[in-house]
Structure 1
């Protein structure tokens, strides 16, 4: 019995010695000259697993996991181990074979490239390798790669490996700028409804062609109203405003404030306060009508808006020393306002004459206005 075991023990000892030596250098399989720590001259097999569950926890026995489910899925990475059992260098490949999305989560507080999770889009894959670190660090590094079945859709076109802008939208698309500017620059044009620049649009940057269908453009900013048109200020900023409002529309607006007699002083003067004003709602042309009764000896009186024009005026037309009613008492004016605002009405008289009667006849004072054109 002793003579039978001796050759076996020698053989086992020789094998152990050989394995121990190989572990300190390179190991070759099907090669006698390994050039790497492990040099395999042949095929390699690792764990392959196909799952369809929408929630899956990756384990130590996983290597390649393919998802074939029917909804979005969540894959959870194992928590890192510090010390004995640390699996630094462990690799997972996750392949998404569906039109849904896989979310791969790290175990809190660990991260994947600094993020708590990584998304695997439809028909894409991701490879993850463990860094051996623990805690709130990049415990995993991810390398994403397109699958061989790369497609382009929803406004994109695939030309070989080149995904180009341009193509049919396959679904409703919302571009949320979230406070950022979206710019279209260059010398080209943006064409809507056509891909041909129409006659007369050589200098246009935006062209809308809606054929013969009404309603090609809608702009809502709170100023829109029935019958309004789009108008511009001096900077090109457009708002909606009315074009024509006639006196027959009964849209007259009266002055504001309480009229005081501006002609009580002995001296003639200009820019005399009347206590009244007009509130102009928008730039444009306005039709004014005004009336008042002034009884006085010879003098010139008028009401006006500084920088705009007169709203009522009467000249002394007689040499009689007796007081007269100044005529015409009812007058109209057309005035242009370049901007909305409150405009004071002031008065003027040419000499020292103080009226003997003010606003005491027919008509009593009135001042109305209405916009009729931008």
Structure 2
């Protein structure tokens, strides 16, 4: 009996020696000449786990985990190990067989490709491999993320390249939520055509509606029938009337208190103490009247930088009532604002009577066209 045990020990020792020797080379299964550290000539099986729990902690026994639950799920990866027990190279395949979403979390502060988690959409899968790193490092890398790529609703697919451009397959709404949507560069935005028409070399937006009217609609609350789009000095546009009811008592009078500007020597830009306030750019109709008694001289009222609104000319040398008394002017204002009225005269003659008519001095105006 002792002899039999001795032979058994010798056999086990020989086998142990063979196994130790095999670890220094390659191991082959169903092949006599393995070309890799482990060379398997046949099929390979690893653990397959199917779960329905909404929370699952992956462990050292897992390889392929399929989720068949009825709600969104959370899968937690194991924390990395430093030194003995480090499982660098461990791989997990996670398959989502549901219409819900799986969130795969790394153990903080570890990351998955720099992120705290990855998402596995409905009916998709992800394969992860451990890098062996610990701490705030990329402890897991995504090897593959199995997803079916399609392009629709304004996108097209060329191989694996999803490009902007295609047919909208459904109504599409973009909510900017306070963020700016910018289109930059030297290109143009073309609506209704893909060809830049003649004369649009410098245009940024081109609308081509063919022969059908109504290509552009702008609503801001100022629109009315017959109105036109009018810009201010900064290019801000609003709708405004092309014509006002000039003869329906919509006149605006001057402001301030009139003083006689002709008491001094000859010159221009003599202060009158009055002004007009122009509400918007456009054409304005002015009417003005004043009676002056004087011998020969020319007198006038003038809006500095725009034009005169009243003038009388000397026609005889003796003292007389200057005429014509009532005058009308049409002036254009490119910028709204308050404009001072100044007086002008050609010589030093001081009138013997100023604003002595009945009615007294008047000056009013109305806008009639943009």
Distance in 2, Cα, partners of 1:294 & 1:101: 92
Q: 1:203 to 1:352 in 2, by over 3 A?
A: closer
Whether 2:311 is the aligned partner of 1:313: answer yes
Check the 8 A contact 1:28/1:38 in 2, yes or no.
Answer: yes
SS state of the match for residue 94, structure 2?
strand
SS at 2:84 equivalent: coil
Q: What's the counterpart of residue 356 of structure 1?
A: 352
Deviation at 1:45, TM superposition (A): 2.2
Q: 1: distance between equivalents of 2:222 and 2:210? A: 22
Shift of 1:211: 9.3
> RMSD value over aligned CA atoms?
3.5
Distance 1:348 1:296 in 2: 15
Structure 2 CA distance for aligned equivalents of residues 106 and 175 of structure 1? 33
Shift of 1:346: 1.7
Q: Which moved more, 1:244-253 or 1:295-304?
A: 244-253
Q: What is the aligned length?
A: 362
The Cα shift of 1:133 comes to: 1.9
Q: Using the TM superposition, give the Cα deviation of residue 249 of structure 1 relative to its aligned residue in structure 2, in angstroms.
A: 5.2
Match of 2:341 among 328, 339, 345: 345
State the alpha-carbon separation in 2 of the partners of residues 126 and 111 from structure 1.
15
Residue 133 (structure 1) aligns with: 133
Where do 5+ consecutive residues of structure 2 fail to align? none
Q: How does 1:1-374 map to 2 (within 5 A)?
A: 1-51=1-51, 54-68=54-68, 73-97=73-97, 101-147=101-147, 149-158=148-157, 163-164=162-163, 165-170=165-170, 172-174=172-174, 176=176, 178-179=179-180, 181-183=182-184, 186=187, 190-192=190-192, 201=197, 206-207=206-207, 209=209, 217-219=216-218, 224-227=222-225, 228-231=227-230, 237=235, 239-242=237-240, 243-248=242-247, 250-265=249-264, 267-321=265-319, 323-324=320-321, 326-374=322-370
1:13 alignment partner, SS class: helix
CA contact (8 A) 2:224 2:239 kept: no
CA distance in 1, matches of 2:59, 2:210: 58
Task: Tell me, in whole angstroms, the C-alpha distance in 2 between the residues paired with 1:329 and 1:51.
Answer: 102
Output one character per residue of 1:36-88: Cα deviation in whole Å (capped at 9) or x when no partner: 22222222222334455554443333333344556654433333233333322
Kindly tell me: are residues 120 and 231 of structure 1, through their superposed partners in 2, closer, same or farther at Cα, counting changes over 3 Å? farther
CA distance 1:353–1:141, shift in 2 (3 Å) = same
Aligned partners of 1:315 and 1:36: how far apart in 2?
115
* Cα separation, partners in 2 of 1:168 and 1:363, compared to 1, 3 Å: same
1:328-367 residue CA offsets vs partner (Å, 9 max, x unmatched): 3332211112233332222211111223333343333333
Q: Tell me the CA shift for residue 130 of structure 1.
A: 1.9
| Aligned residues of 1:262 and 1:347 also touching (Cα < 8 A) | yes
Task: Please give the alpha-carbon distance, in whole angstroms, between the structure 1 residues aligned to 2:142 and 2:63.
Answer: 14
Judged with a 3 Å threshold, the aligned counterparts in structure 2 of structure 1 residues 74 and 283 are, in CA distance, closer, same or farther, namely farther
Q: Contact (CA 8 Å) 1:288, 1:368: kept in 2 or not?
A: yes
Q: Deviations over 1:200-250 (max 9, x none)?
A: 9555563354997x8653435x68443432245799x46124222231454
Offset, 1:313 = 1.7
1:252/1:370 contact within 8 Å kept: yes
Structure 1 residues 137 and 41 mapped into 2: Cα distance closer, same or farther (>3 Å)?
Answer: same
Structure 1, unpaired ranges of 5+: none
Contact 2:277 2:339 in 1 (8 A): yes
